[in-house]
Amino acid sequence: MQSDEIRTKFLKFFEARGHKIIPSASLVPENDPSVLFNTAGMQPLVPYLLGQEHPMGKRIVDVQKCVRTGDLDDIGDNRHFSFFEMLGNWSLGDYFKQDAIKWSYEFLTSKEEGLGLDVNRLYFTIFEGDENAPFDQESKDIWVNCGIPENRIYALPADDNWWSPGDNGPCGPCSEMFYDMSGNVGDLNKEKFLEALKKETVIEIWNDVFMEFEKKDGKVIGKLKQKNVDTGAGLERITAVMQGKQTAYDTDLFSSIGAVLIPVGHDIRKKRIIADHIRTSVFLISDGVIPSNKDQGYVLRRLIRRAVFCFSDHRMKDEEVSVLVDMIVIKYGDIYTNIKDKSQHIKDVIIAESNKFNQTILQGLKEFEKGIDPFVLFTTYGFPIELTVELAKEKGQTVDLEDFKKKMAEHQKLSQTSSAGMFKGGLANHNEKTIRLHTAHHLLLAGLQAIVDKNIKQRGSNITKERLRMDFLCDHKLTDEEKQKVQDWVNDKIKQGLEVVRKEMPLAEAQKVGAEMEFGAKYPEVVSLYFIEDKDGNPISKEFCGGPHVKNTSELGTFKILKEEAVAQGIRRIKAVLL
Ligand code: SER
């Protein structure tokens, strides 16, 4: 049975039982900033599980796109995927355990309407009870009434059989269904069942959650207004089961993608990572995510870069991206039409990101060889820490993750500080004009050093939205010619459209780089630097600075020096504007 048929059968089965089919929600939650992605089918339905009326009624069935990136390191084995589809049927305060369990059983075993699985290969778990809810006798009785022998039903604690999306939200005891992948596991006692689970000779294929409770800050606080059913069956797993494969990578879900990857070589794990990550990237981009350094965009960036990294020469050619995306569109485009509609955009985004990575990766690899700090590799060369760990592993080395984490924490503090508006230079606010003047300020200092004296140091600055003001150490009044040349120099850099790049690194590294520091300022252990780089990537300006800045000097307009004057012995002041 092909994956398309499994989806259709599931939807039709529940449609025939009064459920309305709804399309998958976007991977990016619409109203829930607490999570980056929908990680389960229930997430977009939370308001309705809490009691809001769903426009389609109380019985819903869907196939929801999900992304989970908590265990990226495990991807490449048989079971982990960063993207998956969850088949789910929903009772929003309507039917409860009796129908939910009976229908799960029928769908799994019915040859006509369902999957026709051999009941002798199925196992079941129920909730054993704790202070929040009693042993789930009702579910056990229902399974027994379906004809399941008691020695195939196991009671397990909340760790296994209480489902919640996190520390907050609707939750409840669940009953799970498992499939014997080997075909000859036979009868098991609970201990043997748990062993088989660990060895993955049996795997979970479906979860019926009886959502009648609510959690707050990690504690169950009581019952919801209504009793809900949230069921979830991973399409990847079900497809593997139906096609007699150990993993979804060997099913029709991945076969065309796999075919494209034959030239990549023999490392199965790497091929799987590429297939998984590119598939996820396609779906994320189709839902509006673009690579960036934070939140969803950062996850996407990591996925693309990690995929590129898995190619043998750490390069993903434009044609390879194009064919991979085409294959994914052929496989999924009729169901998720936005990936078909946006296929060119998806290709462009992946190609742009992968090229960006290619540009820096060679440099990054060189730095890695030199033994440079993983944190610097991350902030300066865009090397996700996982890549550094992977590179190190290949060389039999280890990475000090604790140290990395410490620096990252510092880095985050720093980003918050800068986004809260506390940065040097006395910038009054962040509006566009001041941001542009701020970047011009960096160019002016670099220009003074390039034209007048390379030893010129800044001694103070002030920016309003009208003008910038810079005080600097200099032993003479600038001549008209010097002023003109500095102004021309700055305007030339503006015209060249140079990139303004933010990098973060440990203070000691930054000092080695020789960036401009503010006299007498105290800097944290990890600092933010702004580089303005020429077309060959050489910095023409580098300053310790929290930002913000424009992305490219072309945004500045025309630079004009208004005034040059003395403020004290050996200290000169320039006022300048952007027109
Ligand atoms: N919410 C449950 C799960 O994700 C069932 O859909 O497993």
pLDDT > 70: percent of the chain:
95
Which residues touch 398 (CB under 8 Å, ≥6 apart)?
392
| 62 vs 260: which has the higher pLDDT | 62
Buried b (16+ CB within 10 A) or exposed e, 112-131: eebbebeeebbbbbbbbbee
Q: What is the CATH number of the domain that holds 108?
A: 3.30.930.10
Same domain for 269 and 386, yes or no, is yes
Tokens at residue 396, please?
């039999």
pLDDT of 215 above 80: yes
How many domains does the structure of the chain reveal?
Answer: 3
pLDDT > 90: percent of the chain:
66
**Are 471 and 461 within 8 A, CB to CB?**
yes
**Are 403 and 376 within 8 A, CB to CB?**
no
pLDDT grade for 265, boundaries at 50, 70 and 90: confident
Q: What is the CATH number of the domain that holds 504?
A: 3.30.980.10
Write the single-letter amino acid at 383: F
Range scoring the smallest mean pLDDT among 238-247, 260-269, 330-339, 566-575: 260-269
State the pairing for strand pair 468-473/571-578.
antiparallel
Please work out whether the CB of residue 231 comes within 6 Å of at least one atom of ligand 1. yes
pLDDT of 121 above 90: yes
Look at residue 394 in the predicted model and tell me its pLDDT: 80
Within a domain: residue 59? yes
Same domain for 238 and 265, yes or no, is no
- Report the alpha-carbon distance of residue 388 to residue 72 in Å, rounded: 14
Same domain for 64 and 113, yes or no, is yes
pLDDT digits (tens, 9 = 90+) for 27-63: 998 767 678 999 999 999 998 999 999 999 999 999 9
**Could you tell which of 230, 235, 238 is best to mutate to test the pocket of ligand 1, judged by most ligand atoms within 8 Å of the CB?**
230
Within a domain: residue 409? no
**Are 464 and 428 within 8 A, CB to CB?**
yes
Look at residue 31 in the predicted model and tell me its pLDDT: 65
pLDDT grade for 414, boundaries at 50, 70 and 90: low
Give, using CA atoms, the residue closest to atom 2 of ligand 1: 232
Q: Mark which of 202, 222, 242 sits at the end of a domain.
A: 242
Look at residue 238 in the predicted model and tell me its pLDDT: 98
pLDDT digits (tens, 9 = 90+) for 70-111: 888 789 899 899 999 999 999 999 999 999 999 999 999 999
Look at residue 65 in the predicted model and tell me its pLDDT: 97
User: Is the whole-model pTM more than 0.85?
Assistant: no
Starting at the edge strand found earlier in the chain, the sheet holding 526-533 runs 499-506, 526-533, 539-544
**Could you tell which of 24, 206, 207 is best to mutate to test the pocket of ligand 1, judged by most ligand atoms within 8 Å of the CB?**
207
pLDDT grade for 425, boundaries at 50, 70 and 90: very low
Same domain for 215 and 296, yes or no, is no
pLDDT of 418 above 50: no
Which residues touch 564 (CB under 8 Å, ≥6 apart)?
477, 478, 483, 572, 573, 574
Mean pLDDT of 201-228: 96
Within a domain: residue 404? no
| Closest C-alpha to 211, from 53, 92, 78, 376 | 92
Same domain for 392 and 288, yes or no, is yes
Same domain for 136 and 212, yes or no, is yes
pLDDT digits (tens, 9 = 90+) for 109-118: 999 999 999 9
- Report the alpha-carbon distance of residue 409 to residue 429 in Å, rounded: 26
Which residue range is the domain that position 442 belongs to? 431-578
pLDDT of 427 above 60: no
Look at residue 412 in the predicted model and tell me its pLDDT: 64
Within a domain: residue 416? no
Look at residue 408 in the predicted model and tell me its pLDDT: 81
User: Which spans in 60-200 are helix H?
Assistant: 97-109, 137-145, 158-161, 190-199
Please work out whether the CB of residue 49 comes within 6 Å of at least one atom of ligand 1. no
Look at residue 423 in the predicted model and tell me its pLDDT: 34
pLDDT digits (tens, 9 = 90+) for 132-150: 999 999 999 999 999 999 9
Range scoring the smallest mean pLDDT among 12-21, 410-419, 452-461, 555-564: 410-419
Please work out whether the CB of residue 209 comes within 6 Å of at least one atom of ligand 1. yes
Range scoring the smallest mean pLDDT among 292-296, 349-353, 454-458, 550-554: 292-296
Look at residue 2 in the predicted model and tell me its pLDDT: 97
Same domain for 437 and 468, yes or no, is yes
pLDDT of 513 above 70: yes
Please work out whether the CB of residue 44 comes within 6 Å of at least one atom of ligand 1. no
Q: What is the DSSP string of 64-103?
A: EEEE--TTGGGBTBSS--SEEEEEEEEEESS--HHHHHHH
Within a domain: residue 488? yes
C-alpha 222 – ligand 1 centre gap (Å):
20
Same domain for 116 and 63, yes or no, is yes
pLDDT of 383 above 80: no
Within a domain: residue 566? yes
pLDDT grade for 416, boundaries at 50, 70 and 90: very low
Same domain for 374 and 455, yes or no, is no
C-alpha 207 – ligand 1 centre gap (Å):
6
Which residues touch 393 (CB under 8 Å, ≥6 apart)?
none
**Are 225 and 170 within 8 A, CB to CB?**
no
**Could you tell which of 86, 212, 215 is best to mutate to test the pocket of ligand 1, judged by most ligand atoms within 8 Å of the CB?**
86
Within a domain: residue 81? yes
pLDDT digits (tens, 9 = 90+) for 541-554: 999 887 778 999 99
Atom in ligand 1 nearest the alpha carbon of residue 232: 6
Tokens at residue 577, please?
């504007």
Same domain for 436 and 334, yes or no, is no
Same domain for 153 and 16, yes or no, is yes
Within a domain: residue 422? no
Q: Mark which of 242, 274, 302 sits at the end of a domain.
A: 242
pLDDT of 421 above 70: no
**Are 376 and 368 within 8 A, CB to CB?**
no
pLDDT of 385 above 90: no
Same domain for 86 and 231, yes or no, is yes
Question: Taking all residues of the chain, what is their mean pLDDT, rounded to a whole number?
Answer: 90
